[in-house]
């Protein structure tokens, strides 16, 4: 059986790498935990993998701003490798701190210069928000194929408010259908706090690049791959797996189809 290879990239402060690797393994992939130094030193070749995952946590202690140090390291030390990886049509996902890294490295929303155009800043509440949230989904992305219109995932962040550098950038995201997840209530309606836990512009919880192959989101799909991870799982007899698992399955199926083992 073909099992696509996933590079789950970690560094000091990353703490969701094992959960992310488990989610990919559950979805049918072979996931390796790789320290960024192994890529920088070329001990491990990024191009052996068909999926690159940036898990959650507090990379480098979130010094300066969440994900900023790691993002600078990627851009300065691995910029060409990342450009080639994207050019080859491979997949990238960034979750929570990983999403912060993707936007601050310029990989999202995506441009040739890896220039930052959006950010994730301190929550409007001024505090760390840890709860479950409903998300309205869009299926115009490799990672979100066949997802229900509304899914339920946990959030855990202090800097999750999505903002764009200007109105033009936000309009481009809308025009290109790059807004993939938005905070909502159980009925799929937009609402303020606490349904929108951080005050994100247009309730944005996740975006993709123009190709639909690079996805970043603040909520944690790797924390809801098993039905038992749902806070009311004993009452829910309908769903036999967690809402987040399909996201990983979509990435793995795409990689199988386009890249085989790697």
The pLDDT of 208-230, averaged and rounded, is 97
Contact indicator for 212, 91 with CB cutoff of 8 Å? no
In DSSP terms, 163 is beta-bridged to 119
Domain count across the chain: 1
The pLDDT of 23-48, averaged and rounded, is 97
Q: Kindly report the CATH number assigned to the domain that includes residue 241.
A: 3.40.50.880
Distance between CA atoms of residues 147 and 125, nearest Å: 30
- 16, 96, 184, 208: which one is catalytic? 96
Distance between CA atoms of residues 217 and 129, nearest Å: 15
- 117, 184, 222, 230: which one is catalytic? 222
- 7, 184, 203, 220: which one is catalytic? 220
Contact indicator for 55, 22 with CB cutoff of 8 Å? no
Contact indicator for 63, 159 with CB cutoff of 8 Å? no
- Tell me what percent of the residues of the chain surpass a pLDDT of 90: 92
Q: What is the DSSP string of 208-221?
A: E-TTS-EEEESS-G
**HSE-up of 70 (CA within 13 Å, CB side)?**
30
pLDDT at position 260 is: 76
pTM recorded for the entire structure: 0.96
**Domain enclosing residue 152, as ranges:** 5-259
The pLDDT of 198-211, averaged and rounded, is 98
Q: Is 203 a catalytic residue?
A: no
The pLDDT of 90-106, averaged and rounded, is 98
Q: Is 220 a catalytic residue?
A: yes
pLDDT digits (tens, 9 = 90+) for 124-178: 999 999 999 999 999 989 999 999 999 999 999 999 999 999 999 999 999 999 9
Q: Is 162 helix (H, G, I), strand (E, B) or coil?
A: strand
Strand pairing report for 129-137 and 179-184: antiparallel
User: The tokens of 23 are what?
Assistant: 């989610």
pLDDT at position 261 is: 55
The pLDDT of 62-80, averaged and rounded, is 95
Q: Is 7 a catalytic residue?
A: no
């Amino acid at each position: 059986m073909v099992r696509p290879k996933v590079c789950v990239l970690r560094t000091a402060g990353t703490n969701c790498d094992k959960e992310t690797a488990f989610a990919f393994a559950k979805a049918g992939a072979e996931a390796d935990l790789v320290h960024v130094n192994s890529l920088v030193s070329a001990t491990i070749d990024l191009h052996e993998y068909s999926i690159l995952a940036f898990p959650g946590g507090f990379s480098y202690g979130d010094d300066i701003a969440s994900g900023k140090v790691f993002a600078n390291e990627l851009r300065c030390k691995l910029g060409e490798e990342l450009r080639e990886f994207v050019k080859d049509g491979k997949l990238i996902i960034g979750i929570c701190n990983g999403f912060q890294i993707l936007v601050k490295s310029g990989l999202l929303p995506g441009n040739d210069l890896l220039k930052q155009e959006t950010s994730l800043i301190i929550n409007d509440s001024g505090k760390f928000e840890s709860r479950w949230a409903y998300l309205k989904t869009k299926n115009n992305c490799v990672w979100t194929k066949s997802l229900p219109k509304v899914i339920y995932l946990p959030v855990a962040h202090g800097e999750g408010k999505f903002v764009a550098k200007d109105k033009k950038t936000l309009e481009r995201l809308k025009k290109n259908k790059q807004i993939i997840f938005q905070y909502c209530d159980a009925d799929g309606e937009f609402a303020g706090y606490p349904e929108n836990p951080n005050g994100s512009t247009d309730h944005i919880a996740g975006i993709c690049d123009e190709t639909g192959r690079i996805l970043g989101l603040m909520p944690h799909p790797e924390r809801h791959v098993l039905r038992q991870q749902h806070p009311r799982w004993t009452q829910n007899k309908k769903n036999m797996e967690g809402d987040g698992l399909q996201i990983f399955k979509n990435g793995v199926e795409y990689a199988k189809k386009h890249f085989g083992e790697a």
